[in-house]
Amino acid sequence: MPSTETLELRVNNLDCENEAAAIRRGLANVPGLHSLDVFPKSARVKLAFDPEVTSADAVTESLRALGFPPVRNIAEMGPPPPWRNAKVLAAVGSGVLLAIGWLAGMAGAPELAPIVLYWIAMIVGGWFFGREALKELVYEREIGIELLMTVAALTAAAMGLPGEGATLAFLYSISEAAEGYTEERTRSAVRALMKLTPKVAMVRRDGRETEMPVEELQRGDVFIVRPGEAMATDGTVRAGESSVNQAPVTGESVPVEKRSGDTVFAGTINGEATLEVEVTKVFAENTISRIVRLVEEAQERKGVAQRFIERFGHWYSPAVLAVGIMLAVLAPLILGGEWRDWVTRATVFIVAAAPCALVISIPITMVAALGTAARRGVLVKGGIYMEELSRIRVIAFDKTGTITRGEPDVTDIVLSPQCPSAIAPDEAAFLALAAGLETRSEHPIARAIVRAAQARELRPVPVENFKSIARGRRNRAACRCLWSSHLFRQSGPV
């Protein structure tokens, strides 16, 4: 039985089902390729191949030759700048030629000049979607929106209305050019998740400390996390003791104390002391990577409405084209009238009935909703579950203390009977005093106290001889600062 290796790659320029079909066609005859899955929403390609027949490098080069270059991580993904994007340049060129042709006609140029300019504008603007339409028709045996627009533009030009045909090609080329940038916006949630982890880590190997990309970390490596830095990947603390803010991953509002033997997660933020962490999961398997994979898989799962719209679109586009042809050919014979008028009506019908908005409305809405939810820390398994949310009327939570905004807040201020009235006669004075102490601290509880004072428009009391002292494991989260020596003599520690 032949051995099989699996390769999963992120690629550029993969924005829609047409490009996914192009990858499937291009790799169909690669020797040794057992299976191929293409995920256009997340721009991923998953392949299974026989390493004795082909190699990962060969498959990668095949993808690059098809115009879908693989990238190392999602941070490198995205469409090229507009001035280097062929579709954008084609749309701009089509618009410029269309404008020049119109101005030439208005200026009284020879009749042939604007006609030639309109034809060139139509060919330039319709090059990409016209080519996609032919490929979809020949290879996929499907009639899509692109074919409807191509037929409408060519028909208008053939009837002596090249200006209208060029305008149609220009307008549709704009949507084609914007497609990659629109799809990139839907991937913003995944990008935000990936930004939680640093790009490089300080690793100790062979007694030396070197900085290397997080993708190169291996199990057993020890990386060093300084105060304020994020964990490069999942691991176990081997040296040091510090509080770690796990809110980016778990939502816990209060930092968790970590010492030797404790587990830390990728993307969590180290507190006040340096930690040495042993890698237990490589970058592709850590917590953030798994969350990213869940979000991407959720975007690929289609809801009931989306599946219906796609099935509807498969027969709707051919039906529109068929009705348009009947209007152009049969209507003059049956109903009478000028053939030219009926062809014009058929062309207008094809353009007006094209299901562009209908077909793209559900997928774009669903992906935007899933991305927005993920950006706010809510992971939804797929479009079908997002649709079910519309039926929910009551939600019961059995997760006391863990459903939070990821940061603490001051809810109540209780003055101790032992607190001298000269120091804090009321809650406002006490809060102003506490805010003065916490202004220079970066602890989440300290920031909560400062926010509470700002919300009440209180001015923090100036503090001298400030010193931050880490307390024991139990009360470090609650007791971060000591009063100045002057206040200590009067009221003792807080």
Here the tokens at position 313 are: 């679109």
Beta pairing, strands 5-11 & 275-279: unpaired
Alpha-carbon distances, residue 168 vs 103, 117, 348, 441 (angstroms): 18, 14, 11, 61
Q: DSSP class of residue 125?
A: H
Angle at the Cα of 59 from the Cα atoms of 57 and 65, rounded to 5 degrees: 100
Bridge partners for 237 per DSSP: 277
- Going across the sheet that includes 242-245, the strands are 256-258, 242-245, 269-270
Nearest to 264, CA basis, from 218, 229, 295: 229
* Residue 41 CB contacts under 8 Å (≥ 6 apart), including other chains: 183, 186, 296, 299, 300, 367
Nearest to 431, CA basis, from 408, 455, 405: 455
Alpha-carbon distances, residue 151 vs 87, 154, 202, 294, 323 (angstroms): 20, 5, 59, 41, 13
Alpha-carbon distances, residue 180 vs 187, 221, 374, 399 (angstroms): 11, 39, 21, 40
Angle at the Cα of 293 from the Cα atoms of 292 and 295, rounded to 5 degrees: 65
Q: Is 333 exposed, middle or buried (0-12, 13-18, 19+ CB in 10 A)?
A: exposed
For 461, other C-beta atoms within 10 Å of its C-beta total: 19
* Residue 451 CB contacts under 8 Å (≥ 6 apart), including other chains: 409, 410
Distance of CA 179 to the CA centre of its chain: 14
Q: Is 15 a catalytic residue?
A: no
CA atoms within 13 A on the CB side of 212: 15
For 245, other C-beta atoms within 10 Å of its C-beta total: 23
> Which of 15, 50, 221, 398 is labelled catalytic?
398
**Residue 150 · residue 144 · CB < 8 Å:** no
Give the separation between CA 482 and CA 106, rounded to whole angstroms: 81
Q: Which residues are catalytic?
A: 398
